[in-house]
């Protein structure tokens, strides 16, 4: 067992951190508050191959693993420049296509994922199917050798930035007539496809959208991979999504902890730096411990996934996503507290993180659904729903 990351991964972390810091949290906030996107940073990261680290080499990617992509995501967040689309585009979409796409689909999409030029959103959540994805109703009907898609999705991130959306829908099984899941690639300019921004009380450079598919005609090759592979495809995307979700939270937690510790060392109220009061020092130390634990679990999940153990990675990925989200919430809360009134002043860049880290407890899978998973699968307790 090895608890030290490879020299290359460490070098990658350093390079990404440096690039992220050169943009900085102020750049991020300016974009987020002004309704813009972090396109400059995304594009530069893409050119440097940071976004494509886990895309296979034959398609121009780095040929490395999800552990490396997660490190990139974490470092950008830790530098104060979180890019939510990283959780979706290179992690879920590129992985699903690399593992299950047809040769044509791989040739068409993967080089773009490798360079970051392609951005793809991922849409599974529906108004009546969030935690319960079995209730998805977006459905594709066969038509003249192609497909006609109808349905709705909500809270889909980054659609306005995306070239296409990977849509989880259902289609009729040719033999049984039953509906079964199917994944479709829907370019954002496809006629009949509309998306509307959902007003969110989040200060984020990546927005959420409601999607409307109204008789959207898609060519035959919009279906990802073969007809019967959808369940496997979804599972293939699940672990990377959770590992990336965990890394996203971890990075923000690091950023907040760094801010909190820095301030605790500098600010003094009764003569000594406030960090000398255990009332502030201990919670910060606790955050540090929980952060390291969550990071370790994230690395374990990534290592198992990269070793090809999808099943084994599942438990660790869920636990990592849970622990990452929880510590991020705690880290931001404590960093704000350490800052006193400054914690809520715009200038200090912490207030907006309060909402940002709450996302990790809800998406991509809620805290409760992770606990359900652990109760049921790790502990063998009866299913409650």
Partner 1 sequence: MPNIVVLVKQVPDTYSERKLNESDHTLDRESADAVLDEINERAVEEALKIKEASEGEVTVLCVGPDRATDAIRKALSMGADKAIHVSDESLHGSDMVATAKVIAAAIGRVEGVDLVIAGNEASDGRGGAVPAMLAELLGMPQLTHARQVTVDGSTVQVDRETEEGLTHLEAGLPAVISVTEKINEPRYPSFKGIMAAKKKPVETLTVADLGVDAGEVGLANAWSTVLEAAPKPPRTAGQRVDDEGDGGTKIAEYLVGQKLI
Ligand X SMILES: Cc1cc2nc3c(=O)[nH]c(=O)nc-3n(C[C@H](O)[C@H](O)[C@H](O)COP(=O)(O)OP(=O)(O)OC[C@H]3O[C@@H](n4cnc5c(N)ncnc54)[C@H](O)[C@@H]3O)c2cc1C
Residue 156: phi and psi, rounded to 5, are -90, 125
Residue 362, binding choice from ligand X, partner 1, none, Cβ under 5 to 8 Å by partner class: ligand X
> What contacts 179, CB < 8 A, 6 or more positions away?
139, 170, 171, 172, 173
Structure tokens at 363: 């998406």
Rounded CA separation 303/321 (Å): 15
Mark the segment that binds ligand X (CB under 6 A) among 71-79, 149-157, 171-179, 232-240.
149-157
Q: What is the 3-state secondary structure (H, E, C) of 299-345?
A: HHHHHHHHCCCHHHHHHHHHHHHHHHHHHHHHHHHHHHHHHHHHHHC
Binding mask 263-302 for ligand X (x = CB under 6 A): ----------------------------------------
> What contacts 5, CB < 8 A, 6 or more positions away?
13, 71, 299
Q: Which of 12, 55, 264, 359 binds ligand X (CB under 6 A)?
A: 359
For CA atoms 77, 80, 84, 88, the dihedral sign is: negative
Work out the number of other CB atoms within 10 angstroms of the CB of residue 106: 20
Q: Is the distance from CB of 287 to CB of 259 less than 8 angstroms?
A: no
Closer CB to partner 1, residue 17 or residue 88?
17
Structure tokens at 378: 């790790």
- Number of residues engaging ligand X in binding (CB under 6 A): 22
Residue 8, binding choice from ligand X, partner 1, none, Cβ under 5 to 8 Å by partner class: partner 1
Q: Which of 1, 4, 7, 272 binds partner 1 (CB under 8 A)?
A: 7
Mark the segment that binds ligand X (CB under 6 A) among 28-36, 75-83, 152-160, 321-329.
152-160
Expressed in angstroms, the distance from the first to the final Cα of the chain is 38
Q: How far is the CB of 374 from ligand X (least distance, A)?
A: 12
Rounded CA separation 10/8 (Å): 5
Residue 385, binding choice from ligand X, partner 1, none, Cβ under 5 to 8 Å by partner class: ligand X
Residue 80 in the binding site for partner 1 (CB under 8 A): no
Mark the segment that binds ligand X (CB under 6 A) among 97-105, 257-265, 276-284, 368-376.
368-376
As a residue count, the chain comes to 385
- Number of residues engaging partner 1 in binding (CB under 8 A): 17
Residue 15 in the binding site for partner 1 (CB under 8 A): yes
Q: How far is the CB of 257 from partner 1 (least distance, A)?
A: 17
φ/ψ bin of 126: left (φ > 0), alpha (ψ from -120 to 50), beta (otherwise): beta
Binding mask 98-137 for ligand X (x = CB under 6 A): -----------------------xxxxx----xx------
Residue 138 in the binding site for ligand X (CB under 6 A): no
Residues engaged in binding ligand X (CB under 6 A): 88, 121-125, 130-131, 155-157, 208, 359, 362-366, 368-369, 372, 385
């Amino acid at each position: 067992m090895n608890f030290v990351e490879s020299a290359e991964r460490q070098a990658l972390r350093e390079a990404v951190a440096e690039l992220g810091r050169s943009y900085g949290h102020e750049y991020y906030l300016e974009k987020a508050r002004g309704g813009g996107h972090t396109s400059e940073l995304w594009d530069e990261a893409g050119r440097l191959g940071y976004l494509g680290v886990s895309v296979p080499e034959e398609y121009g990617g780095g040929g490395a693993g999800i552990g490396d992509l997660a490190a990139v995501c974490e470092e950008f967040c830790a530098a104060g420049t979180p890019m939510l689309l990283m959780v979706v585009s290179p992690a879920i979409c590129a992985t699903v296509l690399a593992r299950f796409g047809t040769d044509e689909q791989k040739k068409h999409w993967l080089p773009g994922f490798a360079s970051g030029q392609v951005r793809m959103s991922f849409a599974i959540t529906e108004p009546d199917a969030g935690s319960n994805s079995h209730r998805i109703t977006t459905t594709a009907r066969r038509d003249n050798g192609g497909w006609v898609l109808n349905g709705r999705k909500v809270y889909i991130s980054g659609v306005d930035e995306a070239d296409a959306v990977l849509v989880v829908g259902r289609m009729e099984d040719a033999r049984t007539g039953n509906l079964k899941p199917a994944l479709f690639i829907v370019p954002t300019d496809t006629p009949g496809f509309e998306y509307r921004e959902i007003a969110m009380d989040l200060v984020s450079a990546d927005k959420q959208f409601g999607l409307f598919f109204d008789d959207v005609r898609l060519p035959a090759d919009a279906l990802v991979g073969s007809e019967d592979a959808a369940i496997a495809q979804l599972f293939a995307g699940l672990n990377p999504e959770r590992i990336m979700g965990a890394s996203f939270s971890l990075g923000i937690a690091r950023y907040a902890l760094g801010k909190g510790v820095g301030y605790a060392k500098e600010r003094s109220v009764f003569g000594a730096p406030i960090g000398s009061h255990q009332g502030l020092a201990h919670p910060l130390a606790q955050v540090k411990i929980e952060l390291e634990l969550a990071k370790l679990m994230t690395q374990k999940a990534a290592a198992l996934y990269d070793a090809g153990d999808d099943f084994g990675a599942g438990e660790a990925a869920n636990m990592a996503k849970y622990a990452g989200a929880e510590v991020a919430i705690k880290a931001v809360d404590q960093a704000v507290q350490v800052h006193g009134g400054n914690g809520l002043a715009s200038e200090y860049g912490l207030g907006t993180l309060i909402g940002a880290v709450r996302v990790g407890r809800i998406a991509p899978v809620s805290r409760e659904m992770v606990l359900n998973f652990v109760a049921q699968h790790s502990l063998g307790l009866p299913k409650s729903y």
